[in-house]
Amino acid sequence: MSSARRNVDATQRDVALAAKVSQATVSRTFDDPEAVLPATRELIRKVAARLGYRSHAGARAMRLGRSNQVAMIESSDPQRHWLPIRLLVGMQKALSPAGYHLVHANFLDDQLGDARILPNLLHHLNADGLLVNYTSEVPPAIDLALTKLGRPQIWLNVDRPADCVRPDDRQAGRLLTSHLLAMGHRRIAYIDSVRNSGVVHFSRNDRQAGYQQTMAEAGLKDCVFTPGGRPYHELAGLDVFHAFLVRERPTACIGYASGDVGMVMVAALRSGLRLPQQLSLATFSEEPSFMGLCITTALVPAEEVGRVAVTMLLASIAQPRRKRPAQALPFTIYAGNSCMPPG
């Protein structure tokens, strides 16, 4: 058979002969790609593709004692997990060069919290380590079950002292407030319209604390507006926002989320305020929002969280007994056209 002809039964030996390398080098290319020079690795993969060779994942996992897969496990409750597309992009950027793949699994909370069920569920995922995407009010039973599992794991977007990666939301609150102060604003309000309802993520406290700390350092009084419990879509909520703007007369508002900014924007227009000449608006998000204005945004470092989390997990797989300090990653500013100096 010609070496150029596709062969579904091709072996590592066939690939080695065609590429003029040792069979051990072929094996390392698929089992430990970082141990092979990039040019050699590329040559072997091209030859393998031409011959129709496929590395057997199950056999490789048994031979090496690892599957070259990591699993991201998450709650089925959408309020308790975080999954922007940029997070997955960052994960893939760190996984691919290391020869790893991502398995994504969504579990009911009672499954994650049952120490008898969880090992069997995870056994079927055949993963070397876990990315835990359970971000808010983690039930003690789930925390305990995952701890007892003893498998390398990194938590996403939670405030824990070790083995976790999260955005630095306190820094983000300081960043947006400093941005507005530098423009000359002194009456800056902070809006969180659903703070007192539903599941509370740590970012609610941290973003507000960053704002308040920066205002205090500037010798200014903070102005926090938390009407509580009113969904963004309730028309009656606009009256509350309108009354707040009339009462406090801020020149700038920072919204915990884009929905807060949307409510302030509609209430401001109802009040006859010109945006952004009389009221500047800013918020936090994974992507900038467009609401007639491009909203100035503290951009959540979702891609970097994904990349760093995978890097930490792969290090934990290599050295599973070692705890790794938590990492809080900074936001950056997207300067839209929703902010300008007061006047």
Residue 321: C-alpha distances to residues 106, 164, 229, 318 (Å): 27, 15, 44, 9
pLDDT of residue 306: 97
Question: What is d(CA 70, CA 68) in angstroms, rounded to the nearest whole number?
Answer: 7
The encoded tokens of residue 254 equal 């920072």
> What is the location of CATH 1.10.260.40 in the chain?
12-55
Question: What is d(CA 3, CA 167) in angstroms, rounded to the nearest whole number?
Answer: 51
Question: What is d(CA 141, CA 115) in angstroms, rounded to the nearest whole number?
Answer: 8
> What is the location of CATH 3.40.50.2300 in the chain?
69-166+303-329, 169-300
Alpha helices in the chain (DSSP H): 12-19, 23-31, 38-51, 57-64, 85-95, 109-112, 118-125, 140-149, 169-183, 202-217, 236-248, 258-270, 302-318
The encoded tokens of residue 128 equal 């070397």
Strand-pair category, 296-299 with 332-334: antiparallel
Q: Which residues are bridge partners to 70 per DSSP?
A: 102, 129
pLDDT of residue 127: 83
Query: Which CATH number is associated with domain 69-166+303-329?
Result: 3.40.50.2300
Q: Which CATH superfamily includes the segment(s) 169-300?
A: Response regulator (3.40.50.2300)
Q: Which residues are bridge partners to 166 per DSSP?
A: 328
Question: What is d(CA 105, CA 74) in angstroms, rounded to the nearest whole number?
Answer: 7
SS3 74: strand
**Which of 1.10.1370.30, 3.40.1170.60, 3.40.50.360, 1.10.260.40 would CATH assign to domain 12-55?**
1.10.260.40
Angle at 158 between CA 156 and CA 162, to 5 degrees: 85
Question: What is d(CA 60, CA 40) in angstroms, rounded to the nearest whole number?
Answer: 20
Q: Omega before 320 cis (within 30°)?
A: no
Question: What is d(CA 111, CA 127) in angstroms, rounded to the nearest whole number?
Answer: 17
The pTM for the full model equals: 0.78
Q: What is the pLDDT along the chain (343 residues), one digit of tens a residue?
A: 344 444 456 788 888 899 899 988 887 887 777 778 888 988 988 888 888 776 655 445 444 446 688 999 888 888 889 999 999 999 999 999 888 889 888 877 777 677 667 667 666 677 889 999 999 878 787 888 778 777 899 999 999 999 999 999 999 999 999 999 999 999 999 999 876 556 689 999 999 999 999 999 999 999 999 876 555 445 456 788 888 999 999 999 999 999 899 989 999 988 899 999 999 999 999 999 898 899 999 999 999 999 999 999 999 998 887 889 999 999 999 999 999 999 7
pLDDT of residue 115: 66
Please, which contacts does 266-275 make with residues 24 or more away whose CB atoms are closer than 8 Å? 266/238, 266/241, 267/238, 267/241, 267/242, 270/238, 270/242, 271/242, 271/245, 271/246, 273/245, 275/338
pLDDT of residue 229: 53
Report CA 24 to chain centroid distance, whole Å. 38
